[in-house]
Every structure is written in C-alpha cells, then in structure tokens.
C-alpha cells in the first residue's frame, strides 16, 4: 500500500512518500486499488472506504488509539487511522462510499468491526481478480445490485460521458438534456443500474482522464485542466480528500491498469 498522505487537519507526511511506492495499481469508476508492500503510515483520514488485505496480519490503529489486528481490515469512510505494523505484500482498495460496494463495506465496518474475513487472497492471483472477487463479496449484501438489463438511456449516458467530460464542465442535467430525459429520472436509473451516482461517476471520470494524461507525459497542471478540474490545486484537493493521497500516486513508476 502506498504511504498515505494525512488529511483532515491531521499531521502530514511528505508527497515524496507516494513516489517511493512501487507495485501495481488499478482505477475504475468508484474503485482505486494498489498491490505491493503495506507500509506503516502516519494518522490520516479520507472519504473513500479502505480495505486492506495482506498476506500476514497487519495492525491498524484508529484515531482513539484502538488497535485492530488482522489480515483483512475495513476502514470506514472519514475515519482517522494509521497503519502501525504493515506486511511484505498486500492490496489496498479504496471504494467510493456512495457506490453500492463502498456502502456495503462501510456498513460492515460499522456493524461488525474493522477486522473481517473477505473473499480475497493477495498471495495468489492478479490485482484485477482480487478487486473482482472483493466487489462480488460486497455486492452479496445487496442481491438486487446490477441485476436486470441496462436501460438504453443509461448505456447512452455511459457512451456520451467521457467525451462530454473532456470538453469541459458537465452536470447531470447536461447529460439528461442530450438524452431527452429528465435529470431526476436519469439520476435514478444511473445509480440503480451502474451502482454509483451520476455526479460521482463524473468525478471519477475526471480522475481517470487526469491519470491518463499524466501517464502520457503531461504535467499535473495540464492534466488537471484537460480533465475539467479548475486547476492543479483542485485536483490535489480532490485526491487528498478522497484517498488521502497526492496526485504523485499517478507516477509512471507504478504499473497502472486504467481501462474503464
């Protein structure tokens, strides 16, 4: 796991910590995942629900000093925490709490505690498979999630959004207008069938575009503007608030899978 930047008025660690991390990483709408060593961190907090699965037990300490020891740990949204003892190998998965899977993970952490047994074994298989298995495990909490044929207007929205986001600022009402449907109806269908609210999907698309541009050689300022962020400071704030990590996590020293 990449050394996390500390946010929400806690003490901070250097952005250089992120550039030292090497391993594999994956980005999908609502999901950011890393595979590699699990390093100790300073206390920090982020909006994404974080799941850490390691090949040996790790120790995570919350903001009140309570220690959790286990190979699988779920940190709920916005919870101050630090990794006190890491592991040689593991995965860290950040889930948007407004997705079906993220909400399920957050609910499990609150109802059953942070230490869990999850359907993922980081010692075997590829990162993509680990994420797929983890999401399938979480989605069992909501048997209706993703069932049924996708409405044509949702499919059309998914096709339109990447180009619309690259062209500049876009809102759900802009997408609905293009598709000839009310914004309320589109928002309901999109959330129900994609598993993430439309406005959050647009934000993750912006992160995807920014990362794609950085990996192609753009500096952060150019990538931020191309992705529809106001400036590089806007992108930095978004990364830190969401993941507790700086945009330097996008560095080319990480083997990225960023297909949509």
Select from 260, 222, 240 the least CA-distant residue to 45. 240
Alpha-carbon gap, residue 22 to 215, rounded angstroms? 15
In total, the chain counts a number of residues equal to: 260
Distances in whole angstroms, Cα of residue 29 to Cα of each of 103, 125, 198, 226, 260 = 15, 22, 11, 18, 7
Is the distance from CB of 44 to CB of 81 less than 8 angstroms? yes
pLDDT at 22: 63
pLDDT at 254: 79
In the chain, % of residues over pLDDT 90: 62
Residues 57-110: pLDDT tens digits? 999 999 999 999 999 999 999 999 999 999 999 999 999 999 999 999 999 999
Residues 112-157: pLDDT tens digits? 999 988 888 898 899 999 999 999 999 987 756 555 678 899 999 9
User: Is the overall model pTM greater than 0.85, yes or no?
Assistant: yes
pLDDT above 80: residue 16: no
Residue whose pair of structure tokens reads 């860290």 in the numeric block: 92
3-state secondary structure (DSSP) of residue 111: helix
Residues 167-224: pLDDT tens digits? 777 888 999 999 999 999 999 999 999 989 999 999 999 999 998 888 888 888 999 9
- H or E element at residue 19: helix 16-19
Residues 216-251: pLDDT tens digits? 888 889 999 889 888 889 999 999 999 988 877 766
**Mean confidence (pLDDT) of the chain:** 86
pLDDT at 7: 33
Distant-in-sequence contacts of 123-131, Cβ < 8 A, 24+ apart: 123/55, 123/89, 127/24, 127/25, 127/26, 127/33, 127/35, 127/91, 127/257, 128/26, 128/257, 130/33, 130/35, 130/53, 130/91, 130/93, 131/26, 131/28, 131/31, 131/33, 131/93
């Amino acid at each position: 796991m990449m050394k996390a930047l500390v946010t929400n008025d806690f003490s901070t660690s250097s952005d250089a910590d992120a550039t030292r991390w090497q391993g594999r990483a994956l980005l999908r709408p609502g999901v950011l995942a890393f595979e590699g060593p699990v390093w100790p961190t300073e206390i920090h907090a982020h909006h994404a629900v974080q799941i850490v699965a390691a090949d040996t037990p790790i120790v995570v300490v919350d903001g009140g000093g309570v220690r959790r020891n286990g190979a699988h740990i779920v940190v709920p949204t916005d919870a101050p925490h630090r990794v006190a003892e890491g592991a040689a190998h593991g995965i860290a998965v950040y889930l948007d709490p407004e997705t079906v899977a993220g909400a399920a993970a957050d609910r499990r952490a609150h109802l059953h505690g942070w230490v869990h047994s999850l359907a993922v074994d980081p010692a075997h298989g590829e990162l993509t498979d680990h994420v797929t298995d983890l999401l399938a495990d979480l989605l069992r909490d909501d048997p209706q999630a993703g069932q049924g044929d996708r409405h044509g207007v949702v499919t059309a929205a998914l096709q339109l959004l990447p180009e619309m986001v690259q062209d500049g600022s876009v809102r759900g009402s802009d997408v609905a207008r293009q598709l000839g449907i009310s914004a309320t109806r589109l928002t309901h269908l999109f959330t129900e069938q994609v598993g993430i609210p439309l406005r959050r999907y647009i934000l993750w698309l912006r992160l995807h575009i920014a990362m794609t541009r950085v990996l192609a050689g753009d500096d952060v300022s150019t990538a931020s503007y191309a992705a529809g962020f106001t400036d590089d400071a806007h992108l930095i704030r978004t990364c830190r608030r969401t993941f507790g990590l700086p945009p330097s996590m996008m560095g080319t020293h990480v083997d990225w899978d960023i297909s949509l």
